[in-house]
Amino acid sequence: MPAHKKKLSEKIDLGGGHRMTPQRQVVYDVLMSSRDHPTATEVFIRVQEKMSSISLATVYNCLDTLAVAGIVKQVNLDREPSRYCGNLAPHAHFHCETCATVMDIDLKDGVEPSSSVKLPRGAKIQKVEVEVRGKCPECVRTEKKKDTL
Amino acid sequence: MPAHKKKLSEKIDLGGGHRMTPQRQVVYDVLMSSRDHPTATEVFIRVQEKMSSISLATVYNCLDTLAVAGIVKQVNLDREPSRYCGNLAPHAHFHCETCATVMDIDLKDGVEPSSSVKLPRGAKIQKVEVEVRGKCPECVRTEKKKDTL
DNA sequence: TTTTTATCAAGAACTATTCTAAATAATATT
DNA sequence: AATATTATTTAGAATAGTTCTTGATAAAAA
Q: What is the C-alpha separation between A139 and A146, in angstroms, rounded?
A: 11
Mean of pLDDT values over A122-129 = 94
Domain B11-88 sits in CATH at 1.10.10.10
The answer to whether B136 contacts chain A (CB < 8 Å) is yes
> pLDDT over 90 for what percent of chain A?
77
DSSP-assigned letter for residue A16: T
Q: Do A105 and A65 touch, CB atoms closer than 8 A?
A: no
User: Domain boundaries in chain A?
Assistant: 10-88, 90-149
Q: Tell me the angle at which helices A22-32 and A40-48 cross, rounded to the nearest 10 degrees.
A: 110
- Name all contacts of A2-9 with Cβ < 8 Å and 24+ positions apart: none
Write down the pLDDT at residue B147.
77
Q: What is the C-alpha separation between A114 and A90, in angstroms, rounded?
A: 13
Write down the pLDDT at residue B16.
77
Write down the pLDDT at residue A11.
57
pLDDT in tens, A68-94: 999 999 999 999 999 999 999 999 999
Q: What is the C-alpha separation between A38 and A50, in angstroms, rounded?
A: 16
CB nearest to B119's CB, from A76, A105, A129: A105
| Chain B hits for A100, Cβ within 8 Å | none
What is the sign, positive or negative, of the torsion defined by CA atoms of B112, B117, B120, B121? Answer: positive
Q: How many CB pairs under 8 A join A and B?
A: 144
**Which residues in window 84-143 of B are less than 7 A from strand C by Cβ?**
none
Task: Among B63, B64, B74, B79, pick the best mutation site for testing chain A contact (most A Cβ within 10 A).
Answer: B79
pLDDT in tens, B99-113: 999 999 999 998 999
At residue A98, does pLDDT exceed 60? yes
pLDDT in tens, A6-64: 222 245 778 778 889 999 999 999 999 998 999 999 999 999 999 998 999 999 999 99
Q: What is the pLDDT along chain B (149 residues), one digit of tens a residue?
A: 333 333 333 457 787 788 999 999 999 999 999 989 999 999 999 999 999 989 999 999 999 999 999 999 999 999 999 999 999 999 999 999 989 999 999 999 989 999 999 999 999 999 999 999 999 999 999 988 877 77
Q: H-type helices in chain A, by residue range?
A: 22-32, 40-48, 56-69, 137-148
Q: What is the C-alpha separation between A65 and A70, in angstroms, rounded?
A: 9
Which residue lies nearest D9, CA-to-C1' measured? A58
| DSSP SS3 for B139 | helix
| Chain A hits for B126, Cβ within 8 Å | 97, 133-135
Is it true that domain B90-149 has CATH number 3.30.1490.190? yes
Label residue A69 left, alpha or beta by phi (over 0 means left) and psi (-120 to 50 means alpha).
alpha
* C-alpha R_g of chain A: 19
B37 closest CA partner among B78, B83, B98: B83
State the pairing for strand pair A124-135/B124-135.
Answer: antiparallel
The Cα diameter of chain B in Å comes to 73
Residue-level length of chain B = 149
Q: How far is CA B86 from CA B34, B49, B109, in A?
A: 8, 19, 21
Domain A10-88 sits in CATH at 1.10.10.10
Mean of pLDDT values over A111-117 = 92
Q: Read off the amino acid at residue A127.
A: K
Residues 6 or more apart whose Cβ sits within 8 Å of residue B19? none
